[in-house]
């Protein structure tokens, strides 16, 4: 007995006519009669009372009919769900982001993903950049929000661009930079800077630190921390400055100002946000997530 056989029985139980049920199942009336007889022999009880004029379910047959319908429904739901899982329309996927502020910039695309793939469970968690690569390689994380690294690339990882953002200067409201429309790079030389600790970080936050280097100098002193929230906290607490992506200005709290940099010849210091994944990760739901995160038609 298999699912197809149960469907034959269900059709016969609902039609109470083997000839009509056989037509619905695209088999002959003889095949239907033989199938029901074989089922009754296998089950050890009679499913139908039948004579030359009528066919009716036995008490046991009626009970078996209701339970068989549940079995077939559960089977079809399982097939549908597993087919969606195989195609990336169902399942679960894990995404780690380095901070809430960084995660908020991709919120429009995360919302689109959740609405478009309602049968995929999306788990988003905070993780320091220095632990992202290890988490990806151990299979604890499917994808990581990071910044594209123009230095050494890991051959096991795939990095796909999400968007490019100009670097701005973050400072307190009482800092002299707050009164400027743009901050000349040369003025940063005498400032105390705050940036993300790069040690152990596979590709995160380097452009924000490299901005100082591209400007031809580093600040008078640099404090290194783990998260963007800590960067902004110290900028306000210690009257320091930081070089951050301009989207931080829209997602930050506190009494801070964010100003564009004034650079020569119209050049712009930028950082490129990306999603990072292990090439060998076979989770179909991950492909669906990456396709939405990198969709340029969804504004950030």
pLDDT per position as a tens digit, 185-209? 878 877 888 877 655 444 444 545 5
- What's the CATH number where 44 sits? 1.10.10.10
Q: Is residue 223 part of a domain?
A: yes
Are residues 28 and 115 located together in one domain of the fold? no
170 in Cβ contact with 233 (< 8 Å): no
Return the number of other C-beta atoms located less than 10 Å from residue 291's C-beta: 15
Q: E strands along the chain, which residues? A: 48-50, 55-57, 91-97, 120-126, 143-147, 157-172, 183-184, 192-196, 221-225, 242-245, 256-262, 270-278
pLDDT of 6 > 70? The answer is yes
Same domain flag for 66 and 96 = no
For residue 36, pLDDT beyond 80: yes
Instruction: Write the pLDDT tens digit of every residue in 146-179.
Output: 876 443 467 888 888 998 888 899 999 889 998 9
- Provide the b/e sequence for 270-283 (b: ≥16 CB within 10 Å): ebbbbbbbbeebeb
Q: Are 113 and 292 in contact (CB under 8 A)?
A: yes
Q: Which pTM was predicted?
A: 0.65
- Following CA atoms 43, 49, 55, 57 in sequence, which dihedral angle do they give, to the nearest 10 degrees? -60
- Nearest CA among 152, 274, 269, 143 for reference residue 204: 274
Residue 11 has pLDDT above 80, yes or no: yes
CA–CA separation, 285 vs 291, rounded Å?
10
The pLDDT-based confidence of 292 (bands split at 50, 70, 90) is very high
Pair 275, 143: CB distance under 8 Å: yes
DSSP letter at 220? Answer: S
Q: For residues 37 and 224, what is the distance between their CA atoms, to the nearest angstrom?
A: 79
- 283/217 same-domain check: yes
pLDDT (tens digit per residue) in 218-270? 556 677 777 888 888 888 888 888 888 888 888 777 789 999 988 776 677 78
Same domain, 189 and 161: yes
Residues 97 and 44 occupy one common structural domain: no
Burial of 260 (0-12, 13-18, 19+ CB in 10 A): middle
Residue owning tokens 């195609």: 87
268 part of a folded domain? yes
Strand-pair category, 221-225 with 192-196: parallel
Report the pLDDT value the prediction gives residue 87, as an integer from 0 to 100: 67
Looking up residue 246, the CATH number of its domain turns out to be: 3.40.190.290
Location of structure tokens 């003889």: 30
State how many domains the chain has: 2
- CB of 57 closer than 8 Å to CB of 69: no
Find out whether 234 and 222 touch, Cβ atoms under 8 Å: no
Q: Are residues 72 and 146 in the same domain?
A: no
Would you put residue 228 in left (φ > 0), alpha (ψ -120 to 50) or beta?
Answer: alpha
**pLDDT at site 200:** 47
């Amino acid at each position: 007995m298999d699912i197809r056989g149960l469907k034959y029985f269900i059709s016969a139980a609902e039609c109470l006519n083997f000839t009509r049920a056989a037509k619905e199942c695209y088999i002959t009336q003889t095949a239907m009669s033989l199938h029901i007889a074989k089922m009754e022999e296998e089950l050890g009880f009679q499913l139908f009372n039948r004579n030359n004029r009528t066919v009716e379910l036995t008490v046991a047959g009626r009970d078996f009919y209701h339970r068989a319908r549940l079995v077939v429904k559960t089977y079809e739901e399982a097939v549908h769900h597993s087919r969606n899982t195989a195609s990336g329309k169902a399942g679960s996927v894990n995404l780690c982001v380095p901070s809430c502020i960084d995660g908020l910039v991709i919120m429009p695309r995360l919302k689109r993903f959740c609405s478009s793939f309602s049968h995929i469970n999306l788990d988003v968690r905070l993780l320091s950049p220095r632990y992202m690569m290890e988490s990806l390689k151990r299979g604890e994380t499917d994808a990581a929000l990071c910044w594209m690294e123009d230095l050494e690339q890991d051959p096991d990882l795939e990095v796909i661009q999400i968007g490019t953002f100009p670097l701005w200067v973050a400072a307190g409201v009482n800092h002299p930079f707050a009164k400027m429309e743009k901050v000349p790079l040369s003025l940063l030389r005498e400032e105390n800077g705050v940036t993300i600790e790069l040690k152990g970080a596979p590709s995160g936050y380097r452009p924000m630190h490299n901005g100082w280097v591209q400007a031809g100098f580093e600040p008078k002193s640099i404090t290194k921390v783990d998260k963007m929230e800590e960067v902004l906290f110290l900028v306000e607490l210690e009257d320091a400055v930081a070089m951050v992506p301009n989207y931080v200005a829209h997602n930050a709290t506190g009494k801070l100002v964010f100003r564009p940099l004034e650079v020569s010849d119209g050049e712009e210091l930028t950082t490129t946000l990306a999603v990072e994944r292990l090439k060998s990760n076979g989770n179909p739901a991950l492909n669906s997530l990456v396709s939405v995160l990198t969709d340029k038609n969804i504004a950030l």
